[in-house]
Structure 1
Amino acid sequence: MADLFPTLPSAAYRCRAATVADAAAVHELVAARELALLGTVESDADRTAADLGLPGVDPALDTVLVHDPAGRLAGWAWVHGGRRCRVDVHPEHVGRGLGGALLDWAEARARRAGSERLSQTAEDSDVAAVELLRSRGYQPFVTQWLLEFAMPAEPEVPGPPPGITVRPFRPGDEHAAHQLTEDAFDEWQTRRKPYEEWARHTVELETFAPALSPVAFAGDRMVGAVLALDVPGADEGYIERVAVRKDQRNRGIARLLLRESFRGFYREGRRGCTLWTHSATGALAMYQRLGLTVRRSSTVYGKPLGPAQP
């Protein structure tokens, strides 16, 4: 298996594949990187564990951990489906060639998986990561924005449009919500996520908050949903998914559901909520009309891959 690991910049580093049991350690690394770059920690171990346990991810082949001489995690990389990757290096080890080595490994793994293209997201403020990606031939193709909604007072919630009822998410709503969100995202996403993959990052997360996730119905059919995460210790709420069925758009359903979720978070003591959107959805202007503002941005970079080396 040695040929499946990266060529490291120093013999002092050691590497191995990750397991689901490594989720907490990986999260500590990611949190240290976020704190150094953003001044705050936004990720959680729940989401890291979900990435490691995604259907189609074989940790023995699709992950690598790099430890320093003291046995501390210095970097890691993850490839999903041969199409997208993540590379993180601990702030104490930035500038030593680990990022380049892990990116080389990710590309080699994607080629072995038969992929013709690989993508990775980088914060626009992460100058070193952006320079590395561009130096390796990656080009930007999607901009992402982290939006925030400040709540100095309890948000007002409008009434539902005619024929629409709203209630909190309940057990049994999972497959309808999956169908709704995947149908809504079909307009811009490159592939539909199967239920198992979708659920790992939404309704199966320990932080998923059904009571703060309102859903809208026209009769007995779900036509809108806001899926929210309530991270313990966070001072803000987080909206993971927003979707409205195409034939029900421009009726105020998204505004109603978002405001309902925002109000729920306010009553839980949060004074702000955040969510991500990106340029392929064309939704930025809509969110800004609803009172959300841009906090920061990131970019998805992609690169065509040549064939795997024999």
Structure 2
Amino acid sequence: MGFPARYAVRPHVPDDAPAVLALVEAAEKVDVGEPAIEVEDIQGAWARPSFDLATESIGIFHTEKDGTQTLAASADVFKGRRAEAAVHPDHRGRGLGTWLAGWVEDCARGRGSRLVGQTAPADSSPERFLRDRGYHQMWTSWVLQVPGDRTIEPQPLPDGYTLREFAPGDERTAYQLIEDAFNEWPDRDPTSFEDWASNIVLRPGFEPWQLRFTVDPTGTPVGVAFTILAGTTAYVDQLAVRRDERGRGLARALLVDAFERGRAHGGAVSELSTDSRTGALGLYERVGMVVTQTWRHWATNL
């Protein structure tokens, strides 16, 4: 399609990350009520070895009257399967979303994918767009929060089990614990160590306190939690316990520990997300967390 006047298209370059952040923040403020993204999220995603910024990203730029360019819309496609696309609220209703959707589908198809999708806020303009385009719903995700004035009761560890933070050399252990647990989900593509590391231990600003292990009496790590501090929110991004060690309260102990560590580093609010593939929503609600956002994943066959 032809764009309205003053729009131009090109792939992203690394220096575009702040502009993408501003775009997504503006979109999420309208669609969700508050933004939940950091520039490090974008930089880490773009740094994945499996991702090619030059061919798997696109930006639509608008030339303002003073000659400056602003980012009006943006999209990425990861592994031909997962898309992240957004149109700035000020530029909606001009056909940019339709063009982006076509680009996303062509990009995924060109990489041999038979299915591509995106997670969108429930009952939002982006969700209605995907549904009207013929996408089908696959799973539901929830963001849960521990209000600032509420605490989760500590979970005692079994005898001989301890908690400790990341130390150099723990990278592969953390990766395997998370990868083994997450691969139990349906419709989940395995993640390479290199892709995982770009968003965790190689994430800009990473500090050892963010990655915590629960360790069995032999000194072997059997569970892990990764926490991101986003402004004043401590967000538990990944949490996993080895299958044969579940049912001992280790996940809850890691969760409480992560929230406490986050608060110690300035996190006034504690959050995490889960989805319908895990069956963990009830667990988090029972420990005092409340749902603050609902998202749904929509996909289309190519």
**Pairing of 1:256-275 with structure 2 (within 5 A):** 256-275=253-272
- Contact 1:82 1:111 (C-alpha < 8 Å) held by counterparts: yes
Provide the C-alpha distance between the structure 2 equivalents of 1:279 and 1:124, rounded to a whole number of angstroms: 14
1:208 and 1:276, CA in 2 relative to 1: closer, same or farther beyond 3 A? farther
Show the counterpart of 2:79.
81
- Contact 2:138 2:298 (C-alpha < 8 Å) held by counterparts: yes
Q: Deviations 1:64-116 (Å, cap 9, x if unpaired)?
A: 11011222110011111111211111110011111111001110111111111
Show the counterpart of 2:299.
302
Partner SS state of residue 175, structure 1 = helix
Letter in 1 for 2:46: L
Provide the C-alpha distance between the structure 2 equivalents of 1:149 and 1:209, rounded to a whole number of angstroms: 23
Show the counterpart of 1:223.
222
Provide the C-alpha distance between the structure 2 equivalents of 1:56 and 1:212, rounded to a whole number of angstroms: 24
**Is 2:184 the counterpart of 1:157?**
no
Show the counterpart of 2:108.
110
| 1:38 CA drift (Å) | 2.7
Partner SS state of residue 230, structure 1 = strand
**TM-score, normalised relative to structure 2:** 0.93
Partner SS state of residue 48, structure 1 = helix
Provide the C-alpha distance between the structure 2 equivalents of 1:161 and 1:67, rounded to a whole number of angstroms: 56
- Contact 2:62 2:70 (C-alpha < 8 Å) held by counterparts: yes
Unaligned runs of 5+ in 2: none
**Is 2:30 the counterpart of 1:36?**
yes
Instruction: Return the match for 2:163 from 143, 160, 166.
Output: 166
**TM-score, normalised relative to structure 1:** 0.90
| 1:212 CA drift (Å) | 4.2
Letter in 1 for 2:147: A
**Is 2:183 the counterpart of 1:186?**
yes
**Pairing of 1:111-150 with structure 2 (within 5 A):** 111-126=109-124, 128-150=125-147
**Is 2:279 the counterpart of 1:285?**
no
- Contact 1:66 1:74 (C-alpha < 8 Å) held by counterparts: yes
| 1:155 CA drift (Å) | 5.1
| 1:27 CA drift (Å) | 0.9
Provide the C-alpha distance between the structure 2 equivalents of 1:143 and 1:153, rounded to a whole number of angstroms: 26
Provide the C-alpha distance between the structure 2 equivalents of 1:9 and 1:145, rounded to a whole number of angstroms: 36
Partner SS state of residue 72, structure 1 = strand
- Contact 1:146 1:297 (C-alpha < 8 Å) held by counterparts: yes
Q: Deviations 1:20-62 (Å, cap 9, x if unpaired)?
A: 1211111111111122223322101111112222222222211
Show the counterpart of 1:198.
196
Partner SS state of residue 109, structure 1 = helix
- Contact 1:209 1:228 (C-alpha < 8 Å) held by counterparts: no
- Contact 2:143 2:274 (C-alpha < 8 Å) held by counterparts: yes
Show the counterpart of 1:47.
41
Residue identity over aligned pairs, in percent, reads 34
Partner SS state of residue 128, structure 2 = helix
Instruction: Return the match for 1:61 from 49, 55, 59.
Output: 55
Instruction: Return the match for 2:6 from 2, 6, 12.
Output: 12
Provide the C-alpha distance between the structure 1 equivalents of 2:33 and 2:129, rounded to a whole number of angstroms: 22
1:223 and 1:118, CA in 2 relative to 1: closer, same or farther beyond 3 A? same
Letter in 2 for 1:275: L
1:244 and 1:123, CA in 2 relative to 1: closer, same or farther beyond 3 A? same
Provide the C-alpha distance between the structure 1 equivalents of 2:87 and 2:2, rounded to a whole number of angstroms: 13
| 1:204 CA drift (Å) | 1.8
- Contact 2:27 2:89 (C-alpha < 8 Å) held by counterparts: yes
Provide the C-alpha distance between the structure 2 equivalents of 1:208 and 1:292, rounded to a whole number of angstroms: 26
Q: Deviations 1:217-257 (Å, cap 9, x if unpaired)?
A: 112321111110123xx222111101011111111101111
Provide the C-alpha distance between the structure 1 equivalents of 2:30 and 2:137, rounded to a whole number of angstroms: 24
Provide the C-alpha distance between the structure 1 equivalents of 2:2 and 2:50, rounded to a whole number of angstroms: 26
Letter in 2 for 1:88: A
1:153 and 1:116, CA in 2 relative to 1: closer, same or farther beyond 3 A? closer
| 1:269 CA drift (Å) | 3.8
Q: Deviations 1:109-157 (Å, cap 9, x if unpaired)?
A: 111111111111111131x212211122110011000011124266553
Provide the C-alpha distance between the structure 1 equivalents of 2:164 and 2:122, rounded to a whole number of angstroms: 38
- Contact 2:56 2:78 (C-alpha < 8 Å) held by counterparts: yes
Provide the C-alpha distance between the structure 1 equivalents of 2:106 and 2:273, rounded to a whole number of angstroms: 30
Letter in 1 for 2:51: V
